[in-house]
């Protein structure tokens, strides 16, 4: 789970080299492309939900069934990059995962699409 957080942070920072290094490590350890997309989608969805859920860290953690530490880290990340950017990144990743499930894209193609949209399109 921490590696996914590192991966999502590298993605938001636009640090393609770190992102590729972590993604490669995860792929070697048994993740596949759809697992990476699903994990990133969940991470960004959670980060966005944390930003729009009112309450203390304890209350938000309880409402979202995550740890207080996760709430704190997600709030920090969203504050640094902005909730709109977090949401837009989630939307792109989720759309790519859906394209795999519908047969529109291969898992590899979907991951490459996300990489392209996030790192190389303005």
What is the rounded distance in angstroms from the CA atom of residue 45 to the CA atom of residue 43? 6
Where are the strands (E) in 1-122, listed by range? none
46, 68, 43, 44: which is closest to 55 by C-alpha?
A: 68
pTM here? 0.85
Check residue 55 and report its DSSP letter.
Answer: S
User: What is the CA 84 to chain-centroid distance, rounded?
Assistant: 13
pLDDT value of position 51: 92
Is 96 buried (19+), middle (13-18) or exposed (0-12) by CB count in 10 A?
buried
Whether the CB-CB separation of 22 and 3 falls below 8 Å is answered with yes
Q: Which one-letter DSSP state was computed for residue 25?
A: H
Q: What is the pLDDT of residue 122?
A: 59
pLDDT digits (tens, 9 = 90+) for 82-93: 889 899 999 999
């Amino acid at each position: 789970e921490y590696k996914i957080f590192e991966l999502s942070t590298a993605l938001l920072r636009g640090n393609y080299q770190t992102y590729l290094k972590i993604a490669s490590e995860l792929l070697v350890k048994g993740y596949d492309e759809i697992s990476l997309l699903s994990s990133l989608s969940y991470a960004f969805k959670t980060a966005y939900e944390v930003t729009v859920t009112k309450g203390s860290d304890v209350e938000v953690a309880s409402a979202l069934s995550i740890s207080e530490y996760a709430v704190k880290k997600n709030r920090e990340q969203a504050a640094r990059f902005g909730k709109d950017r977090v949401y837009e990144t989630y939307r792109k990743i989720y759309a790519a995962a859906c394209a795999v499930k519908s047969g529109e894209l291969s898992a590899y193609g979907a991951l490459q699409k996300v990489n392209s949209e996030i790192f190389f399109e303005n």
